[in-house]
Structure 1
C-alpha cells in the first residue's frame, strides 16, 4: 500500500488536530509536519518533502496563495519539490482568492466543512493525479453560465463544436461525466471523448484549468 505523506498548514491548532485525527485513522495517510503560517509551510515543505500539502488561505506572515506559489514556483529551481501537490482548505467558497490559489498551482479546493469521507476520497484522487474542486463551489456557476448567452458565441470557444460548447458549460458547472451523460442523453464513452477533445482543443490540463479558463475569458464571474 502506498503511503500518502501530508503536510498541514493552518493557523488554527484545533483545526489541524482535527484533520490529523481524520488522516491518522487511515492506513494510507501519514501526517509528516504541521505549520502555523504560510512561511513556515514553505520552509517545512522543502526540509521534509511530502506528497500533499493541505493549505489554508488566510494565515499570518504569509497567506495560502503566496505560500502555494512559493512552494510550487520557487526562485531557485533546486527548491522544487518533485511530485508535491497542494490542496486548499478554507471556509471561503467562490471568490477571486479561490481562483488565485488554483492559478498559483493548487490541485484542489475543498471547504473546511467537507464530510470526512469526501475529504479522504478527494485527497486520494488528487494524489493519483487528478484535480478536485468542492461541488458547492461549482454549483453557483450553473446560473452564471445560464445568464451569459455569449458562452456559445464567444471567440474563446469558436474552435469547439456546438455540442462541445454545451458540454464545456456543464463541465465548468462541476458536473461529472455520468451527470453530463444523463443530462444530454449520451453514453459515458461519448462524454469522455468530448471532454478529452475539449481539453485538447483548449490546451487545458484538467477540469480545474477549464474553470480558470472560463473565469479568465469572462465566461463566468465571481461577482
Structure 2
C-alpha cells in the first residue's frame, strides 16, 4: 500500500500559506500535516509532526528560511524532512546558501501548481530539485571571481565515490550515473549514501555544491 507524502508548509504570509496548503491537500498522494508562519514554528513543527517534505519561504521576519532549514536539518538528523525553498526573488545568494545548508530544492513562488506538486513528489523520492533559474544562478556565482570558497577535502572518498560526486554535480540522475559507470542504480545509491555519510552531507543538493567547491565541476564543463 502506497504511503502518502507528509507535507508541512512554512510561510509568514497567511494567505500564501493557506493557498499552498489547500493546493497540496487537494493533490492525490499528499497529506498536509501542519502549517507554520515563522522559522521557530517551522522547527517545532518539523520535530513534532515529522513531515517528509517542507516548502519553506526564504524571507520571513526574524529567522530566515535558510537559517530555519539549517536548524531543522540539524535538529531532526536522519529523520529530517526534505526542504524546498520558496521565494519570489531569484537571487544568487539565496540559491547558493539554500543548497549549501542542505535544502533539497529551490522554486520560485510563481511556479505553476502542477509543478509544485511534482516538486514535492520529486524531493520526497530523494531526488534533487533545481529549477533552471537556480542552476543558472549557481553557475553564474561560480563563474564570478567574487566567490572564493576553500575546497573541502575529498581524501576520505574512494576514486569511485569521487567520480559519483562529479557526476551528481553535472546534474545526472542515478539512472544516468549508473549507465555512465556501467553499474546498477542500487550501486550508485550505495556509493552516494556512503560518500554523504563520510562528508556529513544531508542532501543531494549539497553534493552538487561540493562538486563545484572542489573544482570537480566548473561552468561550461560537460
Match of 2:116 among 114, 119, 140: 119
Task: Please list the CA deviations of residues 94-121 of structure 1 after superposition, one character each: whole Å capped at 9, or x if unmatched.
Answer: 5223222222221111221112222211
Q: Distance in 1 between matches of 2:107 and 2:127?
A: 14
Q: Which runs of 5+ in 1 are unaligned?
A: 149-153, 181-187
Aligned 8 A contact 2:73 2:80 in 1: no
| Secondary structure of the structure 1 residue equivalent to 2:6 | strand
Shift of 1:11: 0.8
Q: Unaligned stretches of 5+ in structure 2?
A: 146-150
Matched residue, 1:138: 135
The 5 A counterparts of 1:16-31 are: 16-31=17-32
1:65–1:100 Cα contact (<8 Å) kept: yes
Residue matched to 2:74: 73
Q: Which structure is larger by alpha-carbon Rg, 1 or 2?
A: 1
| 1:9 Cα deviation from its structure 2 partner | 0.8
Distance 1:43 1:211 in 2: 29
Give 2:148's aligned residue: none
1:189 lines up with 2:147 in the alignment: no
Equivalent-residue separation in structure 1 for 2:26 and 2:182 (angstroms): 35
Deviations 1:134-164 (A, max 9, x none): 122113556778899xxxxx9x99x99xxx8
Give the deviation of 1:124 after TM superposition. Answer: 0.6
- How far apart, in 2, do the equivalents of 1:147 and 1:63 lie? 25
Q: Secondary structure at the match of 1:73?
A: helix
For residues 192 and 102 of structure 1, do their structure 2 counterparts lie closer, same or farther at Cα, with a shift above 3 Å needed? farther
Residues 46 and 81 of structure 1 are in contact (CA less than 8 Å); yes or no, is this contact kept in structure 2? no
Deviation at 1:175, TM superposition (A): 6.9
1:53 aligns with 2:54: yes
SS in structure 1 at match of 2:106? strand
- Contact 1:52–1:127 (Cα < 8 Å) also in 2: yes
The 8 Å contact of residues 101 and 206 in structure 2, kept in 1 or not, is answered as no
| 1:91 corresponds to 2:88 | yes
**Cα distance change on mapping 1:175 and 1:35 into 2, 3 Å:** same
Instruction: Specify which structure has the bigger relative contact order, considering alpha-carbon pairs within 8 angstroms and separated by 6 or more residues.
Output: 2
Task: Describe the shift of the 1:96–1:220 C-alpha distance in structure 2 as closer, same or farther (beyond 3 A).
Answer: farther
Q: Which moved more, 1:95-104 or 1:20-29?
A: 95-104
